[in-house]
Structure 1
């Protein structure tokens, strides 16, 4: 594994600290602010079009709830063992989704961003926005679920990305190892990265094995990390897994993963007080806190990439 001299700065859903996530404005701004890469979350429509939304339930990030013509589409589904009520991408054609307006997810925290909008993007719409040398860190969402309803994300993604992807400009990530292995088997170039939660178990394994599914914690032992190194290029973890309980010191996870031959990425660096560890909060939850201290601790672990809502702040620390 060839490790970079400094971590990749990845615009999380674009520059989502300043513009509504997954909009063209968010992606364009991320690169203007110095991001090396951007992260699109990928789900599918009923007619097999890959669209960029953090979840397949879209009421929190679009105006779908106010659209009378789609009122009957509101429903309740269980996705990866969790019940959700709302509107789901797989119940719409792309032509229908294209009529929706994207909205800021947390307007109470990001009032400036809430003044902006934009349309929903397809994966194919992001490709022309990628500057030369930029990296796409594509996250396939709820792969086992989409497979179960006849929308295999690995096949759809491999076809969509075929003419653009190169080993140096693509990273594919997912919370499910099976889809990463399918992507690799389809000859998609680039690195594959396994996302790990701090609790629970991978949805694909739960679907297959039920209560016998190995928890995420098993993958984070020294033995588990060595085993992962034969299957993926890296891991991506919640930033809390890199910090101690107080958030004022670092764990040894990066060092152990590097020793096993894995790259390490973390999510998500956000400057507002509500997202910082308690030790670095300075007041109003919607205002920036002591982000320099928390970000600095994370960067000092020597990891390979960070997802950030405000990529310019990470760039400022690195520069």
Structure 2
């Protein structure tokens, strides 16, 4: 199914930049229009490959984002955590046990938390065999490696800072790596990058340090609390199981720190029925392990 021609995604990926484009509140009419991509203006949500094409390749690996690119998807989502020696790596779980062979390689170091291993140790782990023999030998990428591959693929990144309470200062570390790899220039910030987190304080820190970056809060704040979130985030990104049309409308009524209406990207929608339901609510983005299934439903 995922082998559909990339041309079929044109309506989905065209104009994606501005779903997430920051700009002055008092910009010209053309700039204001650019703040919402063509696909969203016409009612079609952006499809975002969750941890890459993670239904078909091991999540958060370079193979998963390569496959998402081959399938024609411009936006990928990932998770960033920090090793014992301060390297940022792309892994979802706080423990390495589910998605690598760490239990076999380091049997005496349960519960195998990322923060207890050096980057060199993690680099030796097999992060693909758990998904299938075809993927044996895939590695846990560093954030630097991941950014370079996304850039090489011509893709764009929804970056999640994971478990910030376990990694004090990870916001600054993330911005440092992004800057070193060229991801904090005007082009990337305006068109290719969103930083999100479940931690409201983390989103605030990113916004304070780089107010030009588009940010997202992962969760479903009460409607009464939404105005306080609009002070520091451009997106409210809830799980689809909590979502209603009324909630999406309440989010859209508010403007974020860049003077544009707040957007909603919902997760993790993996079937056609769910995709159709949330699209009907007017969401701007659908985060999915099965981007081809969601694209098919939207088509």
- Which residue does the alignment assign to 2:265? 265
Quick check: 1:13–1:39 contact (8 Å CA) kept in 2?
yes
For residues 38 and 104 of structure 1, do their structure 2 counterparts lie closer, same or farther at Cα, with a shift above 3 Å needed? farther
1:92 maps to what in 2? 117
Matches of 2:205 and 2:80 in 1, distance apart?
16
Query: How far off is 1:156 after superposition?
Result: 0.8
Distance 1:141 1:189 in 2: 21
Matched, 1:11 2:13: no
SS at match of 1:269: coil
In 2, are the aligned partners of 1:134 and 1:169 still within 8 Å (CA)?
yes
Counterpart position of 1:31: 69
Aligned partner of 1:293 among 267, 270, 273: 273
Structure-2 residue corresponding to 1:144:
165
Deviation at 1:88, TM superposition (A): 0.8
Q: Would you say how many aligned residue pairs link Structure 1 and Structure 2?
A: 247
d(CA) in 1 for partners of 2:205 and 2:281? 31
CA contact (8 A) 2:272 2:296 kept: no
Question: Secondary structure of the residue that 1:306 maps to in structure 2?
Answer: strand
Q: 3-state SS of the aligned residue for 2:267?
A: strand
Q: CA deviation at 1:49?
A: 0.5
Deviating 4+ runs (over 4 angstroms): none
Q: CA deviation at 1:186?
A: 2.3
Asked if the contact 1:19/1:104 (under 8 Å) is kept, the reply is no
Paired position in structure 2 for 1:255: 249
* TM-score normalised over the length of structure 1: 0.73
Residue 207 (structure 1) aligns with:
none
Query: Which protein is richer in helix relative to its size?
Result: 2
Deviations 1:249-275 (A, max 9, x none): x441111110123110111012xxxxx
Question: Mind listing any 5+ residue stretches in structure 1 that lack a counterpart?
Answer: 75-85, 108-112, 198-218, 243-249, 271-290
Cα RMSD after superposing both structures: 1.9
- TM-score, L = length of structure 2: 0.77
Residues 42-191 of structure 1 mapped to structure 2, 5 A cutoff: 42-67=80-105, 70-74=106-110, 86-103=111-128, 113=132, 115-117=134-136, 118-131=138-151, 134-147=155-168, 152-162=169-179, 163-165=182-184, 166-167=188-189, 168-187=191-210, 189-191=212-214
- Quote how far apart the aligned CAs of 1:92 are: 1.0
1:318 is matched with which residue? 298
